[in-house]
Amino acid sequence: QAIGTIQNGLSEFSSKYLGGSFKANYKLRSTFSTEISNSLFQKWFDCDNDETRNEFIFTTYHHVQCIAYSPFLCKTISAESVYLEFLILQSLVYENEKDDWVGHLLKFISPVMEDNHLKKLKITLTDSSLKKSLIENAVKLKDTDWKEVNVCILDYLFNMGDNSSELYLSIYKTVGVHFHQKSHRKKSEKKSSSNEYYSYEKYERYEKYERYQKFNKTDDDFDPTKATDYEKSKYYGKVLGLHGKVTKSYIRKKYLELIAKYHPDKVFDLGDELKILAEIKTKQINAAYEWMKKKYNI
């Protein structure tokens, strides 16, 4: 709804005052869409652009997962709609360093509004361009924390009976052996193999918890009400993992990386200790970012 409102408002303004000039319209969007969307998100969701994008990422990810692993939804929702959601998700994740993520999405989707509600998303790409973008973005996500999105795309295509198309084979090549390791569909898999994989997952979770616990043992006694600006800068910089030359975009990038890592959806199956730790770290990260935003006018 927010994106549709922005889109319609800019289009109406451009048509009325700019005479439909493509150059003027593009400049208007690139200049004002960030400020406009931030104001709307603050008003409607009590979240800024970065916080809204983070929630949008997880909401979209879980939505496509629901579709990919549901035989009913796979057959009832059009492939084009699912491809579009995957492209939106890829773009939100890969473009997370940029301010104007709304403007980036509007390059390939056009929200259609009706009675001030989002009716549908109209894609502005051809089918071949859409699939090409999915393949290219899969490569970009390969070595990130969001590489599982590529696995989800393959699972969706596999469950649709599409395991020979260029889209499937290209992303399969990008994912490689990891897809075999994560596949849960092999009915012939022996019970011992299942137990072995389960043991490996438990070990991986424990290892993650050890790393998180080690990271948490820093500056537990910090009191922002008594700290000087220098002490806050040092502490909050450490919380966000800032090093070297610090810029606004760098601060935003580190914040988005950390807040996504500790998101409840990322730790829900890693044990109560890690859930509590993630909650503590999320509060620390948000406090650090809020201070940085005011300090550097982000």
Q: Do 64 and 85 meet the contact criterion of CB atoms below 8 Å apart?
A: yes
The residue written with tokens 């939106």 in the block is 88
For 161-181, how does the pLDDT look when each residue is reduced to its tens digit (9 = 90+)?
888 899 999 999 998 865 544
CA-based radius of gyration for the chain: 22
pLDDT of residue 191: 43
Separation of alpha carbons 272 and 274, rounded Å: 5
The sign of the dihedral angle between the CA atoms of 67, 72, 76, 78 is: positive
Lowest mean pLDDT among 116-125, 150-159, 230-239, 255-264: 116-125
pLDDT at res. 44: 80
3-state secondary structure of 98: coil
Q: Which residues of 118-132 are buried (b: 16+ CB within 10 A; e: fewer)?
A: eeebebebeeeebbe
Percent of the chain with pLDDT over 70: 72
117-123 and 109-114 beta bridge pairing: antiparallel
pLDDT number for residue 165: 92
pLDDT at site 111:
76
DSSP category for residue 142: T
The Cα–Cα gap between 156 and 163 comes to 10
Q: What is the mean pLDDT of the chain?
A: 78
At 126, phi and psi to the nearest 5?
Answer: -75, 165
pLDDT of residue 184: 47
Instruction: State yes or no: pLDDT of 186 exceeds 80.
Output: no
Nearest 5°: CA angle at 86, between 82 and 89? Answer: 140
Predicted confidence (pLDDT) at residue 197 exceeds the cutoff of 50: no
* pTM (global) more than 0.85: no
What is the rounded CA–CA span in Å between residue 290 and residue 62? 27
Q: 225: which DSSP letter?
A: T
Which helix H or strand E contains 168, and what residues bound it? Answer: helix 166-175
In angstroms, the CA 171 to CA 25 distance is 36
What number is the average pLDDT over the span 148-160? Answer: 92
Checking if the pLDDT of 83 tops 50, the result is: yes
- Name, of 3-17, 193-207, 267-281, the range with top average pLDDT: 267-281
Residue 65 in this model has a pLDDT that exceeds 80:
yes
CB of 75 within 8 A of CB of 68?
no
Is pLDDT at 154 greater than 60 in this prediction?
Answer: yes
**For residues 74 and 156, is the Cβ–Cβ distance under 8 A?**
yes
Summarize the confidence of residues 39-60 as an average pLDDT: 85
65-74 long-range contacts, CB within 8 A, separation 24+? 65/152, 67/156, 68/152, 68/153, 68/155, 68/156, 68/159, 69/155, 69/159, 71/159, 74/156, 74/159, 74/160
Stronger pLDDT, 161 or 134, i.e. the higher one? 134
Q: So what's the pLDDT on residue 10?
A: 62
The per-residue pLDDT for 206 is 46
Does the pLDDT at position 296 exceed 60? yes
